[in-house]
Structure 1
Amino acid sequence: MFDYFTKRALVLLSVLATPVAVAGPAEAVPINTVHCGRHYDNMDWQGPIDADNTFLDAIFITINVGGDDIRSDTGVSAEITFRKVFNQTPITTTAVVTSGPHPNDSNFFGKIPMGSRADDLNSLISPSGIDKIEIFSTSSGSTDPFSTSDNWNMDSISVQYAQINDPSALKPLFWGSGQPWLHRFKKYCDNESGEGGPRWAAISPRVGQR
């Protein structure tokens, strides 16, 4: 009981204190991905792995579309699985990143508020509390009865975060790219030798430590 209230008091002091720079790991840590189709991943976790005194204001996702575009009527969303500082039960939130369309070799960007508040310790989420970020593509993208389902290439992804004490400064969480693509989004899930599927997920290296 003493340790619990001591931890809450220390966290409160860190929230109210003047923000300080908190570095991630000394070197980027390779991370695992989960998806259908072949793996062309080159993924690095760049954010904190251990708990620290930074708390999430928002997650920012930037995706580079490769040589196959996103047509109209195709949506791209993110599903974030995380644990709060004082509640280690996994929680999931989902938000639309874009509703398209986006041409070949273009970037799109989305912001996902995470809800940490300095006046509510139970709301606090640290970067190390992120377990998984999953990107998924929905809708057919068909513009007429003769069109096929929309396929598109994600060549790279950059995920950053902002702290509640300094929401204007973005810090890296993870980054990845691949050749001929990082992931190819398709309506249906291919086997491990196929092109891809409708979902792609990056797993925090901290998950394996729990």
Structure 2
Amino acid sequence: MRTTTRTLSAALLTVPLVAGATAPALAAPPERYSASGEYVDAGGLIVGELDGVDGNLHYISVQGSQTKDGSSSGGFLESWSCEDGVTQPWDPETGEELCDFIGFTNLYSPDATFVIGKKLVNGSISGTFYDVLGWECDDVEEECTPVYGDVSLDVDLRITSESTKVATSRSTQSFRDPVSGFSYRGTSTERYTQGAATGTVDGQELVDGYGRVGTYTFKETVRF
């Protein structure tokens, strides 16, 4: 997917190096980009040890998304070392840390499956998620592949929305440089439901799980 950063870089590279033309330059046509898709997002706590992961309390978040260009699944895992009987890393009232933070791990799944229910009222995501140490990129093919570590987590989560009413969220970002005339405008619209997530991670039950099922559209316009 083309990123705004790449768009900005292209804009900077096309700025003329010689000024002082005798006639005003014609304004370049704006660059436009749009994307849309649907997604499943789920997360929660895991109380206990996970194979190959340090710590005895973990927070996992995974997401699967589908666009016209294909699908992808990823997420992250945070881990803590806690005393026996502690079931969350911080006090919900004071915010005090109750455990020692161990680390943060990026997750990626090459073959996870996810289902989005009709009218966005439920969903699921399942598959094996691996820890990602980094990415190897081919500049010619413009493709990147993950470099995996030793961790693999079997995820099987289901999301049940707390309401059948679909919420809508819209946001807009814009910027204009009064000197160069460069401008950017991006708009996004999201429709979703949210509720509880249940299921297992490596056979361990998810605790205090949450979930979100939705669709999104994004449009941007760049002028320079």
Which structure shows the bigger proportion of residues in strand conformation? 2
- TM range, normalised to the smaller chain? under 0.3
Larger Rg, first or second structure (1 or 2): 2
Which structure shows the bigger proportion of residues in helix conformation? 1
Give the structure-2-normalised TM-score. Answer: 0.26
**Structure with greater contact order relative to length (CA < 8 Å, sep ≥ 6):** 1
